[in-house]
């Protein structure tokens, strides 16, 4: 077995083999080994990801994909417990590595290499009657809710997207994946197959119609990869100037109602495990922890 660097976006055969490995791992583990951004980065050179393949006799046994902040790793189910994961983990040069699902085998591999869990990301879900009970948005006089398409018709795409980016980057200035976005990153995000302008909900300040001010946004996602489609609270953020005005709860419910009206019987969201206030809010709405993801890091010297 050898570890080789591969430019996957320009290597169709290797790309197809990697996707087969990821599909097999998803079936075996019940969770995707790669996050959405790393899946997109397999074929999109703009992501700038580095790909390391474990190969034997021209067969792909596993893959590590890395960006500037972290790596994600997968081993084909048929080749596990043969040192493939250890070899890939050693090849990422000490970078933080995600374990999606934080499965026992991944924990054992990471701990066996002296790594420590430094971040936990929870997937929380609400279903059925409880979802319908909380998916109720009550309109307010101080803000107006519009979807992205209607917002663009009223205010122009440049103004809307700049306001959206500003609110996002204020809300997530601390976040390693969601913070620091620019128009190019936002445009790439809108290229995904699932993106729909009707699923991006924006709250505009009703007191400044001539100079539109964005109070916050709720970007929802509609999942169709399962037999019963479901929704996701993809990203929710408030602009700094509008915090402390009681807009967080209605903004969340605005998206939940949109997804319920669309036919969702289940809605998920992702939240950092150490964001205890947010976790309590979601639990109060009936969300429960469905799964978790974790980052494993080499110990600080």
Q: Is 119 annotated as a binding residue?
A: no
Q: Is 246 annotated as a binding residue?
A: yes
Q: Is 109 labelled as part of a ligand binding site?
A: no
Pairing outcome for strands 71-75 and 200-205:
unpaired
Say whether 251 counts as a known binding-site residue: no
Query: Is 247 known to sit in a ligand binding site?
Result: yes
Q: Is 277 annotated as a binding residue?
A: yes
- On whether 14 is known to bind a ligand per the annotation, the reply is no
- 207 known ligand binder: no
Give the Cα separation of 146 and 200 in Å (integer): 9
Determine whether the annotation assigns residue 291 to a binding site.
Answer: no
* 248 in a labelled binding site: yes
161 in a known ligand binding site? no
Query: Is 213 annotated in some ligand binding site?
Result: no
- Is 82 labelled a binding residue? yes
**Is 228 marked as binding a ligand?**
no
Buried b (16+ CB within 10 A) or exposed e, 82-113: bebbebbbebbeebbbbbbbbbeebeebbeee
**140 known ligand binder:** no
Instruction: Say if residue 75 carries a ligand binding annotation.
Output: yes
Q: How far apart are CA 129 and CA 287, in angstroms?
A: 12
Q: Which residues contact 75 (CB under 8 A, 6 or more apart)?
A: 21, 25, 54, 61, 62, 84, 85, 88
67 belongs to an annotated ligand binding site: no
Residue 278 assigned ligand-binding role = yes
On whether 84 is known to bind a ligand per the annotation, the reply is yes
Q: Does the annotation list 2 as a binding residue?
A: no
41 labelled ligand-binding: no
Q: Which residues are annotated as a binding site for acetyl-CoA?
A: 73-75, 81-86, 236-238, 243-249, 275-280
Q: Which residues are annotated as a binding site?
A: 36, 73-75, 81-86, 177, 221, 232, 236-238, 243-249, 270, 275-280
């Amino acid at each position: 077995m050898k570890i080789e660097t591969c430019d996957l976006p320009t290597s169709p055969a290797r790309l197809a083999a990697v996707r087969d490995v990821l599909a097999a791992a998803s079936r075996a583990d019940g969770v995707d080994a790669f996050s959405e951004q790393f899946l997109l980065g397999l074929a999109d050179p703009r992501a700038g990801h580095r790909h390391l393949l474990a190969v034997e006799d021209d067969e792909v046994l596993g893959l590590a994909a890395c960006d500037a902040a972290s790596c994600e790793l997968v081993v084909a189910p048929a080749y596990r417990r043969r040192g493939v994961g250890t070899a890939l983990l050693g090849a990422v040069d000490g970078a933080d590595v995600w374990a999606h699902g934080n499965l026992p085998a991944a924990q054992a591999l990471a701990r066996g290499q002296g790594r420590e869990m430094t971040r936990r990301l929870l997937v929380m879900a609400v279903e059925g009657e409880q979802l319908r009970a909380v998916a109720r948005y009550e309109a307010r006089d101080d803000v107006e809710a519009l979807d992205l398409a209607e917002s663009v018709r009223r205010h122009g795409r440049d103004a809307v997207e700049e306001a959206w980016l500003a609110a996002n980057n204020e809300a997530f200035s601390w976040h390693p994946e969601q913070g620091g976005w620019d128009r190019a990153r936002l445009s790439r995000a809108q290229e995904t197959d699932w993106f729909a302008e009707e699923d991006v909900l924006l709250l505009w300040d009703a007191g400044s119609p001539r100079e539109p001010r964005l109070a916050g946004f709720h970007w929802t996602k509609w999942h169709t990869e399962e037999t019963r489609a479901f929704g996701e609270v993809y990203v929710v953020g408030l602009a700094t100037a509008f915090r402390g005005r009681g807009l967080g709860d209605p903004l969340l419910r605005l998206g939940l109602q949109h997804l319920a009206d669309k036919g969702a019987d289940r809605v998920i969201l992702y939240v950092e495990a150490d964001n205890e206030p947010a976790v309590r809010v979601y639990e109060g709405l009936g969300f429960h922890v469905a799964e978790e993801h974790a980052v494993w890091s080499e110990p600080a010297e």
